[in-house]
Amino acid sequence: MRPLRIAMIGCGFMGAAHSQGWRTAPRVFDLPAAVEMSVVVGRRADAAADAAQRWGWAGSATDWREAVGRDDVDVVDIVTPGDSHAEIAVAALEAGKHVLCEKPLANTVAEAERMAAAAERAAADGVLSMVGFTYRRVPAATLARDLVARGEIGRVQQVRACYRQDWLVDPGAPLAWRLRKEHAGSGALGDIGAHAIDMVQFITGQRVRRTTGVVDTIVEERPLPPEEQDGPDGRRTGRVTVDDVALFTGRLDSGALAAFEATRFATGRKNALTVEVSGDRGALAFDLEDLNTLRVYDRTAPEERQGFTRVLVTEPGHPYLAGWWPPGHMLGYEHGFSHQVKDLVEGVASGEPPHPSFTDGLHVQRVLDAVERSAAQDAAWADV
């Protein structure tokens, strides 16, 4: 198969992470196609050129439309804020490009529906798409999914998922794009709550069907970024238009309850995504801040040996590990992006649609929307 030539739209934090994946995966895994990092696109020419030089892209540009239309581009990787996902993804799919889009899929259900419909039309012509819910590709999380699917913990009875960060505790933190609804769609709910929803659905193999919840904005006014403080109105602060914390409950396909928390005000928690799945034969617990381990509880073991067992997920037989280091040598945050590239390239080469699909991303978007609808109705149950 000829090389896959990549255009990445966006060059911020996620651009660095995705670049790591594109650069590293072909050197670790025996991929069915080579990868060429053709062009990175940014709004400012100097920033895009700097990103290309630092991250290993062959060139840079400032017009995503031009990049999407290039004959020497096969895959479009979207790492921009959510307000541009739909426009770029639909244009890329209609141009016959495979698409990888960061989560959440869009800012609204309507946008996500349009993207999923475009993906379905493109798939008829062999053009594939995938959403970047990268944490499901942490080997310990994938192992948890495999154990549940094999019935190791029996019938799922209850799930708890929390994603806690603290980077907004300081009220002096500036009003970044993630705090503006027109750019981000929602706050902690969509930014990190989407990850918690996807992880629960991925590990359990079930979808959230109903939800009830509340959201809150703790700091409602923040300093404008320096470049915006010299505007004609002289304002130095702006209003936060998204949530800071979301607490909600979901009812899964089986009827089991799942409890969710997404917050950027959990003082002392830096990137704490935790998922615990309780079944009638055992339980599993995953913690992103200890991402090389999975805790497994076997309720059928003799009483004197019951208790959570810490499994070090670094063996060659564990998901994705065969290409990496000897047993016991740890992986990190960035490795999930290499696994994402592996799965996408293998999907494109085989014609087998990779997951999560845009339809999967649309369902997560509907869950986020249901939480917001519930919160607006005093935590009344809302259907997804």
Question: Is 334 part of any domain?
Answer: no
Per-residue confidence band for 200, with pLDDT thresholds at 50, 70 and 90: very high
Final residue belonging to a domain, choices 78, 106, 135: 135
Reading phi first (left if > 0) and then psi (alpha if -120 to 50, else beta), residue 205 is in left
For position 229, what pLDDT does the model report? Answer: 76
Same domain as 88, residue 37 = yes
Same domain as 141, residue 128 = no
Tell me whether strands 309-312 and 293-298 are parallel, antiparallel or unpaired.
Answer: antiparallel
Instruction: Please check whether residue 219 is in contact with residue 243, taking contact to mean a CB–CB distance below 8 angstroms.
Output: no
Across the range 175-179, mean pLDDT stands at 95
Per-residue confidence band for 1, with pLDDT thresholds at 50, 70 and 90: confident
Instruction: State the average pLDDT for the chain.
Output: 97
Across the range 118-146, mean pLDDT stands at 98
Q: How far apart are CA 247 and CA 215, in angstroms?
A: 6
SS3 42: coil
CATH number for the domain spanning 271: value is: 3.30.360.10
For position 232, what pLDDT does the model report? Answer: 66
Same domain as 112, residue 148 = no
For position 346, what pLDDT does the model report? Answer: 98
Q: How far apart are CA 186 and CA 183, in angstroms?
A: 9
Per-residue confidence band for 236, with pLDDT thresholds at 50, 70 and 90: confident
User: Cis bond leading into 319, ω under 30°?
Assistant: no
Question: Is 14 part of any domain?
Answer: yes
Each residue's pLDDT tens digit, 57-107? 999 999 999 999 999 999 999 999 999 999 999 999 999 999 999 999 999
Final residue belonging to a domain, choices 86, 117, 135: 135
Tokens 């490009």 correspond to what residue? 97
Per-residue confidence band for 228, with pLDDT thresholds at 50, 70 and 90: confident
- The whole domain housing 55 covers 4-135
For position 210, what pLDDT does the model report? Answer: 98
Each residue's pLDDT tens digit, 15-73? 999 999 999 999 999 999 999 999 999 999 999 999 999 999 999 999 999 999 999 99
Domain count, the chain: 2
Across the range 199-221, mean pLDDT stands at 98
SS3 122: helix
Question: Is 333 part of any domain?
Answer: no
pTM of this prediction?
0.96
Q: How far apart are CA 61 and CA 347, in angstroms?
A: 28
**Residue 378 corresponds to which tokens in the numbers above?**
């005093």
Sheet of 129-132: strand order equals 59-61, 35-41, 4-9, 75-78, 98-102, 129-132
Q: How far apart are CA 122 and CA 185, in angstroms?
A: 26
Across the range 354-365, mean pLDDT stands at 98
Same domain as 143, residue 127 = no
Instruction: Please check whether residue 338 is in contact with residue 20, taking contact to mean a CB–CB distance below 8 angstroms.
Output: yes
Final residue belonging to a domain, choices 100, 135, 170: 135
| Beta strands in 123-207, from DSSP E residues, in sequence order | 129-132, 156-164
Same domain as 87, residue 27 = yes
76 has which bridge partners? 7, 99
Q: Which residues contact 20 (CB under 8 A, 6 or more apart)?
A: 55, 334, 337, 338
Same domain as 155, residue 59 = no
